[in-house]
Structure 1
Amino acid sequence: MKLVTRLAFGASTLALCTTGTAFAQDDGVLRQEKVTVTGSAIAGTPEDAALPVDVLTAGDLKLEGSPTITELIRNLGVSSGVDGQTNQFASNGLEGTSNINLRGLGPARTLVLINGRRQTVHPYAIGEQAQLFVDTNMIPSAAVGRIEVLKDGAAAIYGSDAIAGVVNFITRDDLSGFEVGGDYSTFEGTDGDYNINAAYGFQGDNWNWVTSVGYNKRSEVPLLEKDWAILPFDENPVGGWSSLSNPGYFVILGARPDLPSGTGPIGQVNDSGCTDLGGTEVGTCRFQFTQFDNLVEEEERYQVFSEYNRTFGNGVDFHLEGLYGYSDVPEWKTSPSYPPQVLTSQLLLASHPGYQQYIADNPSAAPLMNAGFGALYIGRTFGWGGFPATNGGPQEGFRTYESYRLAGDLTGEWSNGVTWNTALSWSTTEGERITNDTYINGLSIALQGFGLCGDPNTGAVPAGAVPGQGGCEYYNPFSNSIPEGAINGDANPQYNAALANSAALADWMTDGVGTVVTTDLLVWDASLSGVTNVQTSGGSVAWAAGAQIRREGFEVDPNEVTDLTVNPGPGGTGPFSFLAGTTPADRDQTIYAIFGELQVPLFENVDMQFAVRYEDYGGDVGSTFDPKVAGKWQVNDDFALRGSAQTSFRGPTLNQLDGVATTLQFVSAASAFKAVDQFGNPELSPESAFSFNIGGIYDNQNGFTASVDYYNFDFSDPIIVEDQADIVGAAVAAINAGDTENPIFSRITFTDNNNDGLNQANEIARIRTNVVNGPDIKTSGIDLRAEQIWDLGSSEFSLGGEATYIIEYDVDDFEIEGVLISGGDRVGQFNRSNFSRSLPQWKANFYANWAMGKHNVRGVMRHIDSYDDERAPAARGNVGAEIDSQTTFDAFYTYRADAFDLGLSVVNVTDEDPPFAAFELNYDPYTHNPFGRTFKISVTTRFGGK
């Protein structure tokens, strides 16, 4: 019964809040393991309660339905702004991945370890932040014995990236026999998700070998399956509604002696087929593109982890581990086409067959259209009719990721009691992404009737080619080319089959913007630790010292049409209308470090930790010296105080130093999505931080425990990506002030649709943002947790809870091109207008647990505070000023016998929808669970051994 009670400390609630001690089960008896807990390099340290370390065991996770790593981290109070759900409108291409973001400081600032060793980062960065992260989806859940979460800076022990904290996945090595399990979960709108895993372990007298495999399958869930996910235009104008559509609208061109060119716009025609095909007319035909998108992409994942441990006759311990992971998103779905950025190339002449047919079918438009020599088409290449090459549906791309890891170490002890360790680890991940886009030149010549016979990349047309003849085809942007609405299925009364766009033409006009990106990491570690002869009032002083060399590699291999060195395109950003190309890259850096640590028991009730680390990046980044001090004062048998203070340092990652990437972002001034090109910066300086933690721990030795911790982080020179909203806002202000020479205009490409030589907000084509050292950041908050256990004889009952309150997240003012950008406190904000993530002020979890022999029943209440959408009303469509708070309830039942486990779960029992947010997906994917009531069953069976 004690075992079940202790395991109930887990998952997203208390999780052994008062110590950093790890526990294991042996024949039903709870025992403490002698391990080096995360946060210390001194071998044999059983715990370090001076540091805020939570330990989540595999048993803890079973009691809460064995959540995925994404769900686990999202639920923790210390976690804010997790990029773990399908979200192509901000996370940009991270489908199938998961990361950890402690304190809302960014996943690149949380160090993720496997068995205390580093793992290479995922090849693709978070789109809007240029932050690389470790993909935790590659770690098989069956291999995890416990997870240690250090919620404190730890650069002195671990080096760069450990600014916000450390999450250490420690694998199980105690399995004997065969174990197989699986789970199935379902919610409204899905065909179900399932996981299958198996593990086999051998235990010898002086060795063990444990291998775990996992298979995960997620079913595709279209946004259309959720009634809250697709809203009418007047309920959320920024919820996936674009002013650029198909059918779009047509700017008729004619004689204009008042313009420098002598020609220009003489009027506008909205395509009459808009509403028949499912559009909404508000000035133009508004296109609802998220109806083609998914809430969950189809995902398939394979994972293998194997480790071998042996103790040789001389007492030397040998450890070897290997990991393989493969993740596949085979049919990533998106809008039939992206909006074009350069509209001046979309010219069709009055002789165009679709143009002539439209005049015949719509006599009211005939006088204006006949007065012009042609028109500019303002819209998407494919829209309400879908993408012809996929039978009228969305366009598709794919993402695949493959990871390998091999790590080994030797540990021994000399006759003088000094423990030595040396380790070598290597890991690599290769990712490939393909996303389709329309050729700029291909669209241009297809509008002239040279589709299929010309070169879509260069725009070259064969000599003697005749528009629309001899294998040449017109691209027809009018509604008379569309047989029926792709979403509503309604027939188009003005459809003309002779004017339809062929699937072959669609394929010819589009191509895959694709890259293969590879990261790799090679690390050598060596350390010594022991106990000195120096005695203090509390005992002997322990020490550790060590060195580390790590080599990081980053390689970008774009396909031919994406490679800017081969295909710069007509504007230098590549040959495609929306997505920018990139340049090949093959970069690496080697980092050298030495460190030292002391554990000093000053008195019987006062323990101190002192640590220092010197790390050298070389080159322009330079070196750093980071100290750390931590202490615990056991005031009496029931109460202790703890605290720590340290500096941290993080150099720019290789992806941040050069290259270009494109993200898809809504630009309110243009009332459309625009391409935001993100450029690396070789002049980046490293970022640094000073942080401290002060807390108290109470344990009345009679079942009640509680803790409170105050944390404080002070960042200098954080590496960020400039906000396009700041750049556009400054440009609009300059336009309104008539400031035609403002340097902010250098960041924006304008199309000059009106041919008047003036910049206008609705003529924004592309926006350039840079990776820069941003404004200083200060954040602080309080972690609270408590639990009471009652021993009822044949059963035990416990109540507990944990909460995190963010006091401040204050960002300084800074400048872009000499324009002052205001900072401020970002707590309690959605933060869609800046580089931060969502920051609800409160997150809390409360639970009740009843353990009865082999049975366990658990209920959890989760609460997320309300927060504001800080954007100006126009930027959020004049809706959604506040994102409401949310309270959900989960219920779990667990049965555990010697050879069989059963788990039943209902997450979100009352089927609460996520609170509304003025976002493309109509909810905040960084904070809330969108799935509604979710049922899950899990089964595990063991054969042989124990």
Structure 2
Amino acid sequence: MSVRNTNRLQRNTLSVALLSALLLTANAAMAQETTETKPADAQPTGAASEKKDEATELGAITVTGSRIARDTFNSVSPVQVITREESTLAGFASTASLLQGTAVTGGTAQINNAFGGFVVDGGPGVNTLSLRGLGASRTLILLNGRRVAPAGSRGSVGSADLNVLPNAMIDHVEVLKDGASSIYGSDAVAGVVNIVTRDKVNDLTVEAQYNVTEDGGGDETRYSLVWGQTGDRYDISASFEAYDRNELTLGDRDWTRCNTDYRRNLAIGDFWGSGDTIDPITGKPKCYPITGTGSNGVTINTIGTNNITGVAAKGATGTVFNRWRPNSAVTTGLVGFEGVGGGLTTNTNIRDTFDPKMLNRSLISPVKVRTAFLQGGYDLDALGGAEVYFELLGNERKSSQTGYRQLSLDYWKGSPLIPANLQASTFQNAPTAITNGPVGVRAFIGFGNDKSEQEVDYWKGTAGIKGDFIWTDWNYDFALSHADSDANYTFESWLTDRVKQSLDVVAGPGGTFVCRNPANGCVAAPALTSAVIGGVLPQAWKDWTFVPVTGSTKYKETTATFNIDGPLFAMPYGEAQGAFGVEYRKAKIDDTPPIDSQNGNLYNLTSAAITRGSDSVWEAYGEVEFPLLSGMSWAEELTMNVSARLTDYDSYGSDTTYKIGGLWTPFNWISLRGAYGTSYRAPALFEQFLGATSGFLSNQNDPCNNYGADPGSIRAANCASEGLPPNFVATQSVQVLTAGGAEAGLKAETSKNMTVGVILQPELSESIGDISFAVDYFDIEVDNGVSRAGATNILQLCYDDPDFRAGGGFCRLVDPRTPGSNALTVHDSYVNLATDKVRGYDFTLRYVRDIGPGTLRATTEITHYLEQASKLFSDDPLDDVNGTINNPEYSGTLDVAYGMKNWKIRYGVEWVGAMQSYDFFGLNGETDPRKLYVKDYFTHNISGQYNFDTWEVTAGIQNFTNATPPSISSGVYNRVGNAPLYSGYDYVGRTFFVNVSKTF
């Protein structure tokens, strides 16, 4: 977006009329005034009485997407402008929520506070922005035209964290949904977002906002102070804010309290849930089954043995079992236990799989954010009317997540901790990480809740000087900036060596057991009893084996830029304008995982090596704009813009990008614009230098677990082809091998981007009102993409592939099963393989009319994707996921506002279109037992605002119909409850908000 003549353009005062004109021609047509100062008698934004010719009194401005100042209203590339007033009226408590909404993202999935329990780049608690669904690393975030450096925790920090933005000081946000690497360099592939702060503040404003959910949990509070003072030669302003969000747990919402298979049984009734697993104990559908991805149950209250003859539990079949549940009433066979698995027809879900503590897990993770911002400038009255300026941003984030852990505790063959009637059992002949020999009994224990915490300190300082260059009509701008993210992350884990030491026991006094090796205060593991199997574990043993471990992540970025812009030479219809500059940027990452993680000493968790590396780049760019025609018949304006950038990275060498665009206005009521160019993305530091990691997924992630429950499916056929029985249950974890790609010669991504648009502004009578319509076609293709598909996704895509191992594809990343144990190994490192392609249309329709004492403004925006396709290998076909679950083909917003005197009333709608995945997987939706479709999803919002004297009060309701997320079946997509894990749905529900501000 625009680095515009960075500081100069952001200091301009824009009138309501000018921004209305921009709104009418920009793709997102949402602009309002962008400064705190305006004429005392100004109409509400977009008032029909505002005359377009008023803008001619203003000087040139810079449109996001270009560094050249223009004195026309139309931009070559589509730009969306969202003001602070709009954000407040809509009830957003943070800029992160605003940017991740449908109006900006077009319905594509975003990483927000609902992803705390998942592995994401930037670590838990991070909030990022992905435009066009191409990922956060392909969206550039700017603050006042300068890059916002990455922040976060763990080794995969590579994108800006929206939590660091100074919400209280933000004036407006500009969104360019167009590739712009020739203007801004790396990462500007899908678009650029520029956050512009307030300017020339001359008062003190105190603001408070409270968003409270009707059903409890997830409440948000924000308090802020903004102060500023302006003199003849200086201006200075500052802000401080505190933002808190409470935890929302799975137990806080009805739709997350019972996670089921959500399937249908066509033989008994064509309704969803009729095919769910029935708990034989309750006779009702089982909450939290373990039938596949999206079902969150785990085996608990159970032991594993070799095949033993015994008594079947209710619902189990057969007489031979290898999974057992304590039952004191059983006096034959395996005394004290009933069989819950191992028979040819016994469903895995006969076992206990649900613990009420699972509902304590975070649905929305809590966070505390503190942000301070200081900016100022001083006119030197020298060096070409130079102004020295500075910005200082400081931010602290404290976030946490509550999880749930299962403990698989292996008791050694022959251990005195095993009761007499189980001494003959041999669960596994091979040793495990916590045994020195064969495993006699494995206990599947519901351990309970665990905590993860992150504390991220971020600061960014900028100092610069700008003014008139050597030539009177040229401007210069030189700036230095440095950003530093320093994070500590803590999570709880069993230490493998301690668990192993605690299991090696000898008899102690009074019939107790003590560690054979008492070093380091060893506490003996508990003897295997029904209570232990049920999760009742000695506190002393838990405290010694299950401990918090802490790692640290540091990310530093230093940037120096020098830009000049001004007129180049005269042409028949105006002066050619130019902008040129150079930039140097250096970044460094240093992630040091906990020492036990580095040493592979975290039981049933991944190991991680140190991620450490740096990279630097020199860049030079040039942009020229030519006024080819003006004021002529069929050519009110014809302008061409050309830009190019030369980049030289220390890591991968040099590259060039370019962009050619044009704007043609044949008549004053219609404009056509178009642009074509190339972009690139240098590999993020973590993609280059991620420390080699050998980790593990739970054995429950094996796609073939109990595959016989889905007879006739592609997955069942593939699992059977490997010689696995229908009731196969993996006993080995899935090994995942991951590493950065620097040593393998990882290169930059390249992309092509085309945008073509039409803007219609018919001149109508005041009785009809003002109507504006814009449509923009976009086409982005990324080649040589840096990709890491994710181990779970790789396994699912491999085993759901009709060609399976014969067809290549994702199965190339899955090694053949290990003979004997049938263990799986997945390779999931960063490589240059992927191709991503996105095509579609953005539509904007705006209507403005004076009605009664006020003005009505209605804006609707719709994004229609034609293609959202990708492939991992060059010889693979493109997989188009457009319209599948989590990838809507259509999305849109409607915003209707009426303003009169001191009042504003708003009604808003966000829409995510219907989606289905049957066609993508080659399934028949009429006969398949799984629900893989969702209907159109709407949320409705209403609010009002009143201004009096120095007070402003805004109140409203978000999602006032209390729309809950739709349900899909388990086994294909990650879910929350029975709903897709997808940011386009509202997990919180009906929310009431109030915002009060007072200016002194």
Please report how far the alpha carbon of residue 94 of structure 1 lies from its aligned counterpart in structure 2 after TM superposition: 3.8
Of 307, 322, 326, the residue aligned with 1:268 is 322
Of 646, 649, 653, the residue aligned with 2:684 is 653
**Matching of residue 915 in structure 1 with residue 960 in structure 2:** no
Match of 1:626 in 2: 657
Match of 1:104 in 2: 133
Cα distance in 2 between the residues matched to 1:349 and 1:898: 80
Match of 2:179 in 1: 153
Q: Deviations over 1:671-690 (max 9, x none)?
A: 78956453211221211001
Deviates more, 1:8-17 or 1:671-680: 8-17
Q: Deviations over 1:650-689 (max 9, x none)?
A: 1111101131456868443347895645321122121100
Matches of residues 176-195 of structure 1 in structure 2 within 5 Å?
176-187=202-213, 188-190=215-217, 192-195=219-222
Please report how far the alpha carbon of residue 728 of structure 1 lies from its aligned counterpart in structure 2 after TM superposition: 3.1
Deviates more, 1:3-12 or 1:288-297: 3-12
Please report how far the alpha carbon of residue 782 of structure 1 lies from its aligned counterpart in structure 2 after TM superposition: 0.1
Please report how far the alpha carbon of residue 26 of structure 1 lies from its aligned counterpart in structure 2 after TM superposition: 2.4
- Does the CA-based 8 Å contact 2:23-2:29 persist in structure 1? no
SS across alignment from 1:186: strand
Match of 1:608 in 2: 640
**Matching of residue 418 in structure 1 with residue 474 in structure 2:** yes
Of 671, 686, 693, the residue aligned with 1:640 is 671
Please report how far the alpha carbon of residue 857 of structure 1 lies from its aligned counterpart in structure 2 after TM superposition: 0.7
Cα distance in 2 between the residues matched to 1:864 and 1:471: 56
Cα distance in 2 between the residues matched to 1:674 and 1:758: 15
Please report how far the alpha carbon of residue 300 of structure 1 lies from its aligned counterpart in structure 2 after TM superposition: 0.8
SS across alignment from 2:756: strand
Please report how far the alpha carbon of residue 398 of structure 1 lies from its aligned counterpart in structure 2 after TM superposition: 0.7
Which residue identity lines up with residue 197 of structure 2 in the other structure? T
Matches of residues 500-899 of structure 1 in structure 2 within 5 Å?
500-536=536-572, 538-563=573-598, 567=599, 574-604=600-630, 605-619=637-651, 621-658=652-689, 659-660=691-692, 666-670=701-705, 676-682=736-742, 683-702=745-764, 703-725=770-792, 727-728=794-795, 747=814, 757-758=819-820, 760=822, 763-764=823-824, 767-812=826-871, 814=873, 823-830=878-885, 838-869=886-917, 879-899=930-950
Please report how far the alpha carbon of residue 37 of structure 1 lies from its aligned counterpart in structure 2 after TM superposition: 2.9
Matches of residues 134-533 of structure 1 in structure 2 within 5 Å?
134-187=160-213, 188-190=215-217, 192-235=219-262, 237-238=291-292, 241=295, 244-252=298-306, 268-272=322-326, 282-287=349-354, 290-314=358-382, 315-329=385-399, 331-337=400-406, 346-349=410-413, 352-353=416-417, 355-356=419-420, 359=421, 376-378=440-442, 380=444, 382-383=445-446, 386-387=447-448, 394-413=449-468, 414-449=470-505, 472-476=523-527, 478-481=529-532, 500-533=536-569
Which residue identity lines up with residue 171 of structure 1 in the other structure? T
Match of 1:259 in 2: none
Cα distance in 2 between the residues matched to 1:821 and 1:49: 38
Q: Deviations over 1:287-321 (max 9, x none)?
A: 46742311122211100011011222121122200
- Does the CA-based 8 Å contact 1:717-1:773 persist in structure 2? yes
For structure 1, the 5+ residue unaligned runs are 256-265, 360-364, 388-393, 454-459, 486-499, 568-573, 831-837
Cα distance in 2 between the residues matched to 1:95 and 1:891: 32
Which residue identity lines up with residue 762 of structure 2 in the other structure? N
Cα distance in 2 between the residues matched to 1:12 and 1:184: 33
- Does the CA-based 8 Å contact 1:718-1:775 persist in structure 2? yes
Deviates more, 1:246-255 or 1:681-690: 246-255
- Does the CA-based 8 Å contact 1:108-1:133 persist in structure 2? yes
Cα distance in 1 between the residues matched to 2:168 and 2:734: 43
SS across alignment from 2:395: strand
Change (3 A) 1:726 1:218: closer
Please report how far the alpha carbon of residue 88 of structure 1 lies from its aligned counterpart in structure 2 after TM superposition: 3.8
Which residue identity lines up with residue 282 of structure 1 in the other structure? N
Cα distance in 1 between the residues matched to 2:160 and 2:114: 17
Q: When the two structures are superposed, what TM-score results if normalisation uses the length of structure 2? A: 0.77
Please report how far the alpha carbon of residue 75 of structure 1 lies from its aligned counterpart in structure 2 after TM superposition: 2.0
Please report how far the alpha carbon of residue 114 of structure 1 lies from its aligned counterpart in structure 2 after TM superposition: 0.6
Cα distance in 2 between the residues matched to 1:902 and 1:227: 33
Change (3 A) 1:857 1:444: same
Q: Deviations over 1:39-92 (max 9, x none)?
A: 112257675511111111212222322452233222225441110132245444
Cα distance in 2 between the residues matched to 1:841 and 1:733: 23
Q: Deviations over 1:346-398 (max 9, x none)?
A: 23445544634xx5xxxxx9998999999544455x41xx44xxxxxx11121
Of 956, 960, 982, the residue aligned with 1:905 is 956
Deviates more, 1:26-35 or 1:527-536: 26-35
For structure 2, the 5+ residue unaligned runs are 1-13, 43-54, 263-288, 310-319, 329-336, 342-346, 430-436, 631-636, 707-729, 765-769
Query: Between Structure 1 and Structure 2, how many residues are aligned?
Result: 849
Cα distance in 2 between the residues matched to 1:250 and 1:802: 57
- Does the CA-based 8 Å contact 1:246-1:477 persist in structure 2? no
Q: When the two structures are superposed, what TM-score results if normalisation uses the length of structure 1? A: 0.81
Change (3 A) 1:42 1:369: closer
Change (3 A) 1:45 1:147: farther
- Does the CA-based 8 Å contact 1:857-1:893 persist in structure 2? yes
Please report how far the alpha carbon of residue 772 of structure 1 lies from its aligned counterpart in structure 2 after TM superposition: 1.4
Which residue identity lines up with residue 541 of structure 2 in the other structure? L
Please report how far the alpha carbon of residue 898 of structure 1 lies from its aligned counterpart in structure 2 after TM superposition: 3.9
Change (3 A) 1:558 1:16: closer
Cα distance in 2 between the residues matched to 1:844 and 1:542: 37
Which residue identity lines up with residue 296 of structure 1 in the other structure? I
SS across alignment from 2:472: coil
Identity of aligned residues (%): 20
Cα distance in 1 between the residues matched to 2:687 and 2:498: 32
- Does the CA-based 8 Å contact 2:303-2:324 persist in structure 1? yes
Please report how far the alpha carbon of residue 878 of structure 1 lies from its aligned counterpart in structure 2 after TM superposition: 5.6
SS across alignment from 2:125: coil
Please report how far the alpha carbon of residue 584 of structure 1 lies from its aligned counterpart in structure 2 after TM superposition: 2.1
Change (3 A) 1:11 1:216: farther
- Does the CA-based 8 Å contact 1:24-1:33 persist in structure 2? no
Which residue identity lines up with residue 294 of structure 1 in the other structure? S
SS across alignment from 1:481: helix
- Does the CA-based 8 Å contact 1:676-1:724 persist in structure 2? yes
Q: Deviations over 1:439-494 (max 9, x none)?
A: 334334434437999xxxxxx975599xxxx97522356532267x8xxxxxxxxx
SS across alignment from 1:228: helix
Cα distance in 1 between the residues matched to 2:428 and 2:145: 74
**Matching of residue 932 in structure 1 with residue 994 in structure 2:** no
Please report how far the alpha carbon of residue 821 of structure 1 lies from its aligned counterpart in structure 2 after TM superposition: 5.9
Cα distance in 2 between the residues matched to 1:249 and 1:729: 28
- Does the CA-based 8 Å contact 1:18-1:49 persist in structure 2? no
- Does the CA-based 8 Å contact 2:32-2:83 persist in structure 1? no
Cα distance in 1 between the residues matched to 2:175 and 2:23: 11
